[in-house]
């Protein structure tokens, strides 16, 4: 029997961490990526990475990080993994530091930390304004070392198409396509790790995600039997700059430092924004949320912008845009504080936001849901048991998942600067789990070649059908229709009638995607072919999101159905009958809905079931009250 | 009033080694267009000015925020990132060509493996014992050393500096400015210093530092404004020191 090999799909933070830990443990890694791994979407995260180092004398504690993460996720995250994540975060930071990540420093040369949304303590390490890029590069360098040593073989410009399972349903490898020659080949593997990132492209172009964050790989695993969890939970960032190609994140700091959000009171007002007098401007956040005004929480801001544009029709020029105005602020002060974000706007819009209000809109940012992954609880610590082969194992034996493509850690919403942490940490854990899996399993015979040959043949047949199709539908246009549909009906605000109609339209789109005309027949580096395949799998995943959203009849975290909102009774407090009635309804809702959604693929569409959440550390006994 | 249109003139190539050819396209102008979003619009309906329906143009892009390094190409003769080049600032027609010095895969898609091979040659990494947790912290780094190093750590491997460098060519072994700057970065790190000598020997070999012709093109085209020539200057001094140490032994 030859030495075990592992295939890791995806070279962002998750995939590179997994590759590194597997290679260090003596196993060979085939690393597949759609592009040079250094270009992965992890580079886009600017803000930072959370870890309790308490470098500011604030008596911050790991327990507080755990509590913030659990509450931020509206109690929907399993708590043992959250505990391990937060406890191991400082060690992870120091490992990154040893790799040479240029974390920003205090005057003493120590790691600096800053404040990030939703928490009280300075807990976020950062590397200038490019933290994700710096973390990814350090891993890229370490993996290159193993590449030179021959332990890691990179297959860049390869696309994962499907898993190969043996007769016992164990994952034994996969089929992938060379994006240049379009050749399909099988990779045998003793374990496969999917680290294929998020799926914001389902909301194109109103997403902050990279072109390759399609979710197609996770969708393919799902369609082959992997369970997909909490798909309805998708974070929308309230303030993204508009663009034809994508929307780009505008930091919340712009609101935090005094930016004001408004629209003209008359939607037909065509005057340039600075010519519109104060009395004819509608500062809707300040009106609707007098206590917080423009610094209202992410979700609230996104929903308010949604309401003012889509429901009240007051968007600038009648469209999906509102002003985020910095022009009243002191130029020098703001340039010093937020020079980096001003620069981004200038660069991509050719306009100085200190001269003209920025135009923004909420944008699909981060998928909390993803492939279901297991964990083994350590009864001694209450966290995850170290080196358990169950950690980050999907429902398909031999298949692991980590990074944004899994569903762990964030529950119903993600805390700022926890994504770089979970992407890195889950990659490390998945790598260590795979090693435990390979060491712990008994003797395994070499897989027979038949299922590999059959899978390659099946995938080649799909390519042939697409190349000769001529069904009339353009895959790029189908993708745009998908993005518009998901943004309109499965986005910031949801409604069951709209979700039903979205599901009908998704069926139509699925039908269209089966009859595409690629518009080119080149057998070399045919990008339309790869895109057509991705679009079809994106639609499958969109069905999972819409079906899960339709099924969850409540508001929790990022999932919001206004008809089912349970607002705190204004001016009433514990002891008041109105508050007690509210408390009773809140408890009934928790009893009904505090559970993980699980989607399973069937011929009739996604089947949704639920499983309980492990809330052993911090049970949600009381409603949250921020007043 | 006629609708405003933009013209794209694109150098195309069907596969490696095949003969390049030119095609021109017109599309409706939008004020927020950058070169990348114009290419996205074009691929949905690629019809040339002479009315011929052709294959969509192949090019590489990912983050669209000028941080992944994928979409570098020659725009009006200059190596630039397609995502951060606004159409409004360009003289018509907009001429797009694949990034020179790299083998063309197809159309504007090039193979930049030489850039990553160079990083292997110069050992652009910190030699850690392993990516496991250790008790204790990493080395202290002064804010000043940090700010100098941070500039170099933002290199996204786009290849613009190699494209602009007259010393880089199909038959040249020159490592190029990007990899040299990484040697500067790694050699300055308190632990990276331990392998300083190996990296200096790598850039003292054929295709190393001495191939730099000091044209300064690299620093002018770098989209991240990395002080590449400063790095090369510093490496010159480091190499001189190393030469002396090699000749006379360690002092």
* Phi, psi angle pair for A79, to nearest 5°: -80, -35
Q: Is residue A14 part of a domain?
A: no
For the stretch B166-201, pLDDT in tens is 999 988 999 999 999 999 999 999 999 999 999 999
Alpha-carbon span A597 to A609, nearest angstrom: 6
Portions of chain B given CATH number 1.10.1060.10? 113-248
- Chain A residues close to B89, C-beta within 8 Å: 350
Taking 70 as the threshold, does the pLDDT of residue B82 lie above it? Answer: yes
Helix boundaries (H) for A350-418: none
Alpha-carbon separation of residue A562 from A118, A369, A554, A557 (angstroms): 23, 21, 9, 13
Q: pLDDT by residue (tens digit) across A465-510?
A: 999 877 889 999 999 999 999 999 999 999 999 999 999 999 999 9
- pLDDT in the model for residue A526: 98
Looking at chain B, which residues constitute the CATH 3.10.20.30 domain(s)?
5-110
pLDDT at residue A257, as a whole number: 85
C-alpha distances (whole Å) from A276 to each of A271, A318, A331, A339 are: 7, 16, 21, 27
Residues A343 and A464 occupy one common structural domain: no
Write out pLDDT tens, residues A372-398.
999 999 999 999 999 999 999 999 999
User: Domain tally for chain A?
Assistant: 2
- What residues of chain B, 183 to 212, have a C-beta less than 8 Å from chain A? 186, 189, 191-192
Please check the confidence at residue B213 and state whether its pLDDT lies above 90.
Answer: yes
Active site residue A298: yes
* CATH number of the domain where residue A543 is located: 1.20.58.100
CB contact under 8 A, B143 and A107: yes
Any idea what the CATH number is for the domain that residue A271 is in?
Answer: 3.90.700.10
Burial letters B99-129, b for 16+ CB under 10 A, else e = bbbbebbbbbbbebebbbebbebbbbbbebe
pLDDT at B251: 54
Chain A residue with the nearest C-alpha to that of B188: A100
Query: Vertex A420, ends A389 and A373: CA angle to 5°?
Result: 30
Q: Please, are residues A482 and A539 in contact by the beta-carbon 8 Å criterion?
A: yes
User: A63 lies in a domain?
Assistant: no
What is the band of B108 on the pLDDT scale with cuts at 50, 70, 90? very high
Interface test with B, best of A98, A103, A349, A476 (most B CBs within 10 A): A98
* CATH class name, domain B5-110: alpha beta
Residues A353 and A460 in one domain: no
Cross-chain residue pair A349–B63, CB shorter than 8 Å: no
Name which of B36, B142, B154 is nearest A133 (Cβ-Cβ): B154
Whether a cis peptide bond, with omega within 30° of 0, leads into A205 is yes
Beta bridge partners of A28: A5
Q: Are B67 and A133 in contact (CB < 8 Å)?
A: yes
Q: Which residues of chain A have pLDDT under 50?
A: 1
Tell me if A346 is assigned to some domain.
yes
Residue A211 is assigned to a structural domain of this protein: no
C-alpha distance across the termini of chain A, in Å? 64
Of A317, A333, A362, which marks where a domain is finished?
A362
SS (H, E, C) chain B: CCCCEEEEEEEECCCCCCCCEEEEEEEECCCCCEHHHHHHHHHHCCEECCCCECCCCCCCCCCCCCCCCCCEEEECCEEEECCCCEHHHCCCCEEEECCCCCCEEECCEECCHHHHHHHHHCCCCCCCCCCCCCCCCCCCCCHHHHHHHHHHHCCCCCCHHHHHCCCCCCCCCCCCHHHHHHHHHHHHCCCHHHHHHHHHHHHHCCCCHHHCCCCCHHHHHCCCCCCHHHHHHHHHHHHHHHHHHHHHCCC
In angstroms, rounded to a whole number, what is the distance separating the alpha carbons of residues A585 and A592?
Answer: 11
User: Do B156 and A347 count as a contact with CB atoms less than 8 A apart?
Assistant: no
Of A5, A298, A414, A428, catalytic: A298
Tell how far CA A510 is from the center of its chain. Answer: 23
Neighbours of A493 (CB within 10 A): 17
Q: Do residues A532 and A542 make contact, with C-beta atoms less than 8 angstroms apart?
A: no
| Cβ pair A245:B64 closer than 8 A | yes
Residues of B in contact with A126 (CB under 8 A): none
Predicted pLDDT at A411 = 98
What burial class does residue A318 get, using C-beta atoms within 10 Å of its C-beta: 0-12 exposed, 13-18 middle, 19+ buried?
Answer: exposed
**Mean per-residue pLDDT, B34-43:** 97
Closest CB to A524 among B15, B43, B83: B15
CB-CB neighbors (< 8 A) of A347 in chain B = 66, 84
Domain co-membership, A455 together with A602: yes
Task: Mark yes or no for CB contact B137/A97 under 8 Å.
Answer: yes
Q: Which of A342-346, B42-46, B119-123 has the lowest mean pLDDT?
A: A342-346
Question: Which CATH number is correct for B113-248, 3.40.50.300, 2.40.30.10, 1.10.1060.10, 1.10.10.10?
Answer: 1.10.1060.10
Domain with A472, as residue range(s), is 450-606
Strand order of the β-sheet with A370-371 is A370-371, A228-229, A595-602, A605-612
Domain assignment present for residue A297? The answer is yes
Non-local CB neighbours of B82 within 8 Å, separated by 6+ positions: B34, B35, B36, B39, B59, B61, B71, B72, B73, B75, B96
User: What is the DSSP secondary structure assignment for residue A383, as one 8-state letter?
Assistant: S
What pLDDT does residue B137 have? 82
Over its C-alpha atoms, chain B yields an Rg (Å, rounded) of: 21
Query: Does residue A487 lie in a domain region?
Result: yes
Query: Is A82 contained in some domain?
Result: no
If you average pLDDT over residues B200-227, what whole number do you get?
97
Q: Residue A106 in contact with residue A54, Cβ under 8 Å?
A: no
Residue A120 pLDDT: 85
């Amino acid at each position: 029997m030859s030495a075990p090999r592992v295939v890791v799909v995806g070279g962002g933070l998750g995939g590179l961490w997994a590759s590194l830990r597997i290679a260090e443990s003596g196993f060979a890694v085939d690393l597949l990526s759609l592009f040079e791994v250094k270009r992965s979407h992890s580079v886009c995260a600017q803000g930072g990475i959370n870890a309790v180092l308490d470098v500011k004398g604030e008596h911050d504690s790991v327990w507080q990080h755990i509590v913030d993460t659990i509450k931020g996720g509206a109690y929907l995250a399993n708590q043992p993994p959250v505990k391990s994540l937060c406890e191991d975060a400082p060690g992870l930071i120091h490992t990154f530091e040893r790799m040479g990540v240029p974390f920003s420093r205090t005057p003493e040369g120590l790691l600096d930390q800053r404040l990030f949304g939703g928490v009280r303590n300075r807990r976020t390490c950062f590397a200038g304004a490019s933290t994700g890029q710096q973390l990814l590069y350090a891993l890229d360098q370490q993996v290159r070392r193993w590449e030179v040593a021959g332990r890691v073989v990179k297959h860049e410009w390869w696309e994962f198409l499907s898993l190969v399972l043996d007769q016992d349903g164990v994952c034994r490898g996969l089929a992938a396509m060379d994006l240049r020659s379009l050749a399909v080949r099988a990779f045998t593997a003793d374990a496969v790790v999917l680290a294929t990132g998020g799926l914001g492209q389902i909301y194109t172009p109103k997403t902050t995600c990279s072109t390759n964050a399609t979710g197609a790989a996770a969708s393919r695993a799902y369609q082959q039997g992997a369970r997909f969890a909490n798909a309805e939970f998708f974070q929308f960032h309230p303030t993204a700059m508009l663009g034809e190609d994508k929307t780009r994140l505008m930091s919340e700091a712009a609101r935090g430092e005094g930016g004001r959000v408004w629209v003209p009171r008359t939607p037909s007002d065509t005057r340039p924004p600075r010519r519109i007098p104060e009395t004819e401007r509608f500062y809707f956040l300040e009106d609707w949320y007098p206590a917080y005004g423009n610094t209202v929480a992410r979700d609230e801001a996104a929903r308010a912008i949604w309401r003012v544009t889509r429901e009240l029709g007051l968007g600038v020029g009648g469209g999906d845009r509102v002003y985020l105005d910095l022009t009243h602020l002191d130029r020098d002060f703001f340039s010093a504080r937020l020079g980096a974000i001003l620069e981004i706007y200038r660069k991509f819009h050719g306009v100085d936001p200190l001269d003209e209000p920025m135009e923004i809109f909420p944008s699909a940012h981060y998928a909390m849901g993803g492939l279901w992954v297991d964990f083994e609880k350590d009864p001694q610590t209450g966290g995850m048991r170290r080196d358990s082969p169950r950690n980050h194992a999907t429902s398909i034996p031999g298949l692991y998942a980590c990074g944004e493509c899994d569903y762990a850690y964030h529950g119903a919403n993600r805390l700022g600067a926890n994504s770089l942490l979970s992407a890195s940490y889950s990659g490390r854990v998945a790598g260590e789990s795979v090693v435990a899996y390979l060491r712990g399993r008994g003797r395994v015979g070499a897989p027979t070649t038949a299922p590999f040959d059959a899978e390659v043949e099946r995938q080649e047949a799909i390519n042939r059908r697409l190349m000769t199709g001529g069904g009339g539908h353009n895959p790029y246009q189908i993708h745009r229709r998908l993005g518009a549909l998901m943004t309109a009906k499965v986005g910031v605000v949801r409604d069951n009638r709209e979700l039903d109609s979205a599901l009908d339209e998704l069926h139509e789109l699925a039908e269209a995607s089966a009859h595409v005309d690629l518009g080119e027949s080149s057998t070399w580096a045919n990008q339309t072919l790869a895109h057509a395949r991705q679009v079809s799998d994106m639609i499958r995943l969109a069905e999972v999101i819409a079906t899960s959203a339709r099924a969850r009849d409540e508001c929790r975290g990022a999932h919001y159905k206004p008809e089912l909102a349970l607002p705190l009774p204004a001016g009433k407090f514990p002891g008041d009958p109105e508050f007690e009635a509210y408390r009773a309804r809140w408890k009934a809702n928790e009893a009904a809905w505090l559970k993980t959604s699980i989607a399973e693929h069937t011929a009739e569409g996604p089947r949704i079931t639920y499983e309980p959440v492990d809330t052993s550390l911090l049970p949600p006994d009381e409603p949250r009250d921020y007043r | 009033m006629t609708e405003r249109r933009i013209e794209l003139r694109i150098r195309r190539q069907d596969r490696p080694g095949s003969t390049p050819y030119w095609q021109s396209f017109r599309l409706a102008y939008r004020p927020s267009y950058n070169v990348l979003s114009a290419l996205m619009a074009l691929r949905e309906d690629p019809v040339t000015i002479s009315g011929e329906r052709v294959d969509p143009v192949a090019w590489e892009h990912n983050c669209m925020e000028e941080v992944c390094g994928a979409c570098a190409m020659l725009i009006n003769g200059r190596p630039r990132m397609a995502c951060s080049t606004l159409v409004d600032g360009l003289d018509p027609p907009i001429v797009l060509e694949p990034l020179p010095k790299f083998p063309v895969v197809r159309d504007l898609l090039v193979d930049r493996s030489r850039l990553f091979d160079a990083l292997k040659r110069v050992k652009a990494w910190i030699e850690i014992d392993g990516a496991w947790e250790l008790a204790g912290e990493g080395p202290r780094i002064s804010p000043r050393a940090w700010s100098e190093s941070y500039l170099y750590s933002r290199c996204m491997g786009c290849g613009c500096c190699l494209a602009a460098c007259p010393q880089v060519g199909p038959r040249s072994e020159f490592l190029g400015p990007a990899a040299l700057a990484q040697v500067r970065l790694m050699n300055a790190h308190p632990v990276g210093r331990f392998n300083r000598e190996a990296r200096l020997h790598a850039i003292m070999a054929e295709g190393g530092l001495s191939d730099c012709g000091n044209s300064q093109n690299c620093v002018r085209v770098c989209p991240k404004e990395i002080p590449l020539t400063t790095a090369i200057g510093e490496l010159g001094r480091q190499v001189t020191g190393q030469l002396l140490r090699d000749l006379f032994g360690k002092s």
